[in-house]
């Protein structure tokens, strides 16, 4: 088999060889995709068209929704189309594009969640200088940095993954996932796996430590707020962000850092679905349930329509 040319297709995981079950898979993924699309678009439009939400926190949230849309749109439509057309094929170039875009959006997501933790820290621990520190010009720079960092992160991972020689074209996953691709290597891919592992650990661990330390300071300040209503309001802006980050990092770390086997397992599939599909679906729900201003913004948007 050609190792790193575009002369062959990969075969993705087939959920079932029964036509009726393939249609069921298509319908389930369609529901997930439409729900995720609707929720994140509502967040984007609610922030964009409501001037009361033109603040740094909601500007970051709008970008998070765009990244979630990109992340799920890279993998789910292809899987749905394969089930509907009773095929497993994805071209070599399509697989390269899928890996690059998915890692790009996923990395941008993590970087942006880290920036959002810093925003909450300034808002709660240093409120009198919040407008000066988190002005819109600096916020745009921060968001631009997260997108560029995600772009570089995706390019680095994609280049490292597709420089290896593949001895098989059967990917035991419903999309082109890096650990599954590394399992197809002809030669010893230890160095490539080690480099990808070290890079991912450094990125995740750095972001994780930064967010944990940030929230320790935030919670210490919040607990000193004399008003119960004030503590409740402060927690309501922090808990959604902490929940979203925890779900994404926990499931993503297990999926990418745990040893992969040649035989697909239900656990691997479940973890991949959670961090690639469930997380973008839950983000709008988590933020809208815990944030009264988002609720009002969405209601106004729907009322206008």
Residue 108 is assigned to a structural domain of this protein: yes
CATH of residue 136: 1.20.1070.10
Percent share of the chain, pLDDT over 90 = 21
The reported pLDDT for the residue numbered 3 is: 46
What one-character DSSP code corresponds to residue 263?
Answer: S
The residue among 239 and 5 whose pLDDT is bigger is: 239
- Give the residue, 61 or 203, on which the prediction is more confident: 61
Domain count within the chain: 1
Q: Is 169 a domain residue?
A: yes
On whether residue 3 sits in a domain, the answer given is: no
Binned at pLDDT 50, 70 and 90, residue 256 comes out as low
Given a cut of 50, is residue 171 above it in pLDDT?
yes
Cα–Cα nearest to 271, from 174, 186, 165, 197: 174
Flag whether 256 is in a domain.
yes
User: Given a cut of 60, is residue 195 above it in pLDDT?
Assistant: yes
In a domain, 4, yes or no: no
Asked whether 147 and 108 are in contact (CB, 8 A), the reply is yes
Within a domain: 2:
no
pLDDT of residue 289: 60
Q: Is-contact 169 184, C-beta < 8 A?
A: yes
Indicate the pLDDT class of residue 5, thresholds 50, 70 and 90.
very low
Strand partners, 135: none
Residue 1 in any domain: the answer is: no
Q: What share of the chain is helix, strand, coil (3-state, %, to 5)?
A: 80, 5, 20
Residue 16 dihedral angles phi and psi, to the nearest 5°: -165, 155
Per-residue pLDDT, 1 = 47
DSSP 266-289: HHHHHHHHIIIIIHHHHHHHHHHH
**Which tops the pLDDT comparison, 115 or 15?**
115
Is the model's pLDDT at 110 over the cut of 50? yes
Q: Which residues contact 236 (CB under 8 A, 6 or more apart)?
A: 290, 291, 292
Average pLDDT score over residue span 83-106: 90
Average pLDDT, the chain: 82
Report the pLDDT value the prediction gives residue 188, as an integer from 0 to 100.
61
Cα gap 275→252, rounded to integer Å: 6
Looking at residue 139, its pLDDT comes to: 92
């Amino acid at each position: 088999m050609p190792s790193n040319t575009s002369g062959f297709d990969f075969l993705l995981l087939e959920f079932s060889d029964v036509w009726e079950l393939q249609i069921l898979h298509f319908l389930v993924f369609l529901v997930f995709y439409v729900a995720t699309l609707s929720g994140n678009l509502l967040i984007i439009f609610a922030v964009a068209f409501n001037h009361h939400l033109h603040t740094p926190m909601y500007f970051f949230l709008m970008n998070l929704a765009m990244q979630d849309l990109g992340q799920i749109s890279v993998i789910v439509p292809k899987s749905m189309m394969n089930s509907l057309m009773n095929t497993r094929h994805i071209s070599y170039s399509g697989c390269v594009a899928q890996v690059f875009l998915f890692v790009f959006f996923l990395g941008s997501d993590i970087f942006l969640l880290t920036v959002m933790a810093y925003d909450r820290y300034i808002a709660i621990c240093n409120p009198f200088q919040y407008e000066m520190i988190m002005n819109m010009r600096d916020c745009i720079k921060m968001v631009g940095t997260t997108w560029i960092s995600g772009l570089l992160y995706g390019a680095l991972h994609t280049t490292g993954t597709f420089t290896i020689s593949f001895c098989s074209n059967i990917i035991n996953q419903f999309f082109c996932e890096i650990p599954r691709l590394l399992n197809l290597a002809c030669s010893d891919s230890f160095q490539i796996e080690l480099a990808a592992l070290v890079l991912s650990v450094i990125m995740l661990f750095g972001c994780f430590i930064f967010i944990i330390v940030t929230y320790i300071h935030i919670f210490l300040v919040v607990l000193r707020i004399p008003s119960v209503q004030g503590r409740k309001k402060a927690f309501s802006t922090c808990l959604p962000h902490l929940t979203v980050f925890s779900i994404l990092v926990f499931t993503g770390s297990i999926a990418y850092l745990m040893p992969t086997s040649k035989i697909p397992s239900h656990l691997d599939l479940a973890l991949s679905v959670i961090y690639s599909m469930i997380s973008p679906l839950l983000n709008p729900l988590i933020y809208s349930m815990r944030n009264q201003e988002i609720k009002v913004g969405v209601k106004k948007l729907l009322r206008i329509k």
